[in-house]
Amino acid sequence: MSDSPVVVVAPNWLGDAVMALPAIADVKRHFAPAPLIVAARRSIADLFRMVPGVDSVLVLEWNGAWWRRRALNEDAIRLRETGTATAILLPNSFSSALLPTRAGIADIWGYASDLRTRLLSRAVPRPKTPLHQGDYYQHLVRELGIETGPLEPLLSIPAAAVIEARALLADRGWDSVSPLIVLAPGAAYGKAKQWIPSHVVRLVTDLSRDRHATCALVGSRGDAATTAAIRAAVPRDSRSRVLDLAGTTTLPVLAAILSLSRTCVANDSGAMHLAAAAGVPVVAIFGSTNERATRPLARGNVRAEVLTHPVWCRPCMLRECPIDHRCMTGIEPGQVLAAIDRV
């Protein structure tokens, strides 16, 4: 086996990136002791700095837009400078194949998709039956002759991130004694994936009053309006136990906050997958999306429970619900509270 580096081009979304971790671990085992480089967009690059077996991370600035040719060329130059002869593409996109082609990489492997087959030295047919996204990535590497291991994402959270997380939580009012429950009420894909904010208000109120828990609302800057509105709607006697952290954390600090919690309650989102990879029990609320394709991948014996409301129109995969959002309104706070107790 050659000792020249192997590059894996990562998926572009946090949830997909987490679900790809088992396949990336398979690649590392197969090519060891060759260095493993993960090429990832800036928004998720820090995830791979927490992944055991990843030797370095190449941060990509090109977003796939054809008019950003300068960013493409600069990324291609840096990819060429790694000295790799092999790139494994986890995204299906044409742009993910164009980048290593521009870099002059000899072996480019990936799924035969998005009109890119002629750019690939090994093109794997996409599976004909629906798979979980984690299985989908492992199917690719298996078809490339790479033995696959457990479908279990692993993270190693830096001690410095845990220290920073504890300081942030203490600054916002957590006493480090009361149970910490993390809630991720946002979803980048669209509002159809979001559990009803008024239900979140009722849940965190019950958790703070009846369970004496501290509830941390997390998310990106794009979720800040949602989390601020939820906290503002919590009754005054419970509001001090509800911490709004949306938009304030790096990816490692978010992972550390999750690792300090008893449970994470989340929509189908990147935070849901990150919590599972951090070894945290998860209650996952699915509405418009398909839990068979993107359910959280739990670590070891840690529990992950999926809640759905059976209605004829789900999973519709729409960004916005064209009717009454019944798949989410039908999941009551009491059901989620009971699931928290189970996990």
Q: Answer yes or no: are the C-beta atoms of 290 and 315 closer than 8 Å.
A: yes
Q: Are residues 214 and 320 in the same domain?
A: yes
Q: Are residues 179 and 248 in the same domain?
A: yes
Residue 58: phi and psi, rounded to 5, are -100, 115
Does residue 271 surpass a pLDDT of 60? yes
By percentage, how much of the chain surpasses pLDDT 90?
95
End-of-domain residue from the set 73, 108, 143: 143
Average pLDDT value over all residues in the chain: 96
Does residue 191 surpass a pLDDT of 90? no
Q: Residue 269's domain spans which residues?
A: 159-342
Q: Are residues 169 and 312 in the same domain?
A: yes
Q: Confirm whether 282 is domain-assigned.
A: yes
Q: What was the pLDDT predicted at 146?
A: 98
Q: What was the pLDDT predicted at 181?
A: 98
- Closest to 121 in 3D by CA, of 142, 111, 107, 105: 107
CA–CA separation, 10 and 86 (whole Å) = 14
End-of-domain residue from the set 90, 109, 143: 143
Q: Are residues 175 and 316 in the same domain?
A: yes
Farthest CA pair distance, the chain: 63
Q: Are residues 25 and 125 in the same domain?
A: yes
pLDDT digits (tens, 9 = 90+) for 256-269: 999 999 999 999 99
Whether residue 130 has a cis bond before it, omega within 30° of 0: no
Q: Answer yes or no: are the C-beta atoms of 146 and 30 closer than 8 Å.
A: yes
Q: Are residues 165 and 116 in the same domain?
A: no
Q: Answer yes or no: are the C-beta atoms of 76 and 9 closer than 8 Å.
A: no
Q: Confirm whether 311 is domain-assigned.
A: yes
Q: Are residues 95 and 166 in the same domain?
A: no
- Closest to 185 in 3D by CA, of 208, 219, 214: 219
Q: Are residues 67 and 167 in the same domain?
A: no
Q: What does the pLDDT average to over 101-120?
A: 97
Overall number of domains in the chain: 2
Q: Which amino acid is at 241?
A: R
Q: Confirm whether 153 is domain-assigned.
A: no
CA–CA separation, 313 and 274 (whole Å) = 28
* Apex 47 CA angle, 42 and 52, nearest 5: 135
Q: What does the pLDDT average to over 235-258?
A: 97
Q: Confirm whether 150 is domain-assigned.
A: no
End-of-domain residue from the set 143, 167, 195: 143
pLDDT digits (tens, 9 = 90+) for 280-314: 999 999 999 999 999 999 988 899 999 999 999 99
Q: What was the pLDDT predicted at 279?
A: 95
Q: Which residues of 147-183 are buried (b: 16+ CB within 10 A; e: fewer)?
A: ebeebbbbbebbeebbebbeebbeeeebeeeeebbbb
Q: Confirm whether 149 is domain-assigned.
A: no
Q: Confirm whether 152 is domain-assigned.
A: no
Q: What was the pLDDT predicted at 3?
A: 80
Residue 258: phi and psi, rounded to 5, are -60, -40
pTM, 2 dp: 0.96
Q: Confirm whether 154 is domain-assigned.
A: no
Q: How would DSSP label each residue in 1-70?
A: ---S-EEEEPPSSHHHHHHTHHHHHHHHHHHTTS-EEEEEEHHHHHHHTTSTT--EEEEE---S-TT-HH
Q: Are residues 198 and 259 in the same domain?
A: yes
CATH number, residue 80: 3.40.50.2000
Q: Answer yes or no: are the C-beta atoms of 168 and 174 closer than 8 Å.
A: no
Q: Are residues 59 and 168 in the same domain?
A: no
Q: Are residues 163 and 77 in the same domain?
A: no
Q: Are residues 220 and 257 in the same domain?
A: yes
Q: What was the pLDDT predicted at 2?
A: 62
Q: What does the pLDDT average to over 145-168?
A: 97
- Read off the tokens for 331: 């999941």
Between strands 6-9 and 36-41, the pairing is parallel
